[in-house]
Amino acid sequence: MAFQTGPGASDLDLRASDSEREAVIERLRGHCADGRISTDELSERIDAVYAARTRADLEPPLRDLPAAGGHARAATESRRRSSPALATALVLLLGIVTVVVAASVSGAWWLLWLLWPVLHSTRAWGRPRRDESRGRTLQRSAA
């Protein structure tokens, strides 16, 4: 037998589950990590979330904060901007494909020998530098 809510009841009048509370708390922690709320305010809001009985009670702690989409959008944009390694790999892959196509179309298979220096240089670029005198790995410079 299925239980039904009354004719005037909305989803906000339903009892909140533990998983819904945890989802709200994770969003609050994300906002705290982004600097929108302080750790003291985070603690107060988490207490309010644990005290919530209905889904409507879960809304006030999030009311003055942006929706979750803003945080996810910012994270996606930062990942797009911070991937020069991916751009380098794509350029090298395009170069390799160009050489292979040119060699196969023109019949000049000797052009494939040009791939060896390219492949060797990508291996060298992918390795972290080592400080041989101290035996530790150095950080790559930004420039």
Tens digit of each residue's pLDDT (9 = 90 or more) over 68-82: 655 555 555 666 666
- The pLDDT of 44-73, averaged and rounded, is 86
Which residues are CB-contacts of 61 (< 8 A; sequence separation ≥ 6)? 24, 28, 45, 46, 48, 49
Token readout for 100 is 């292979």
State the pTM of this model: 0.45
Helix and strand totals (H; E) in the chain: 5, 2
The pair phi, psi for residue 31, each rounded to 5°, is -65, -35
| pLDDT tens digits, one per residue of 23-50 | 999 999 999 999 999 999 999 999 999 9
Domain boundaries, the chain: 13-81, 84-129
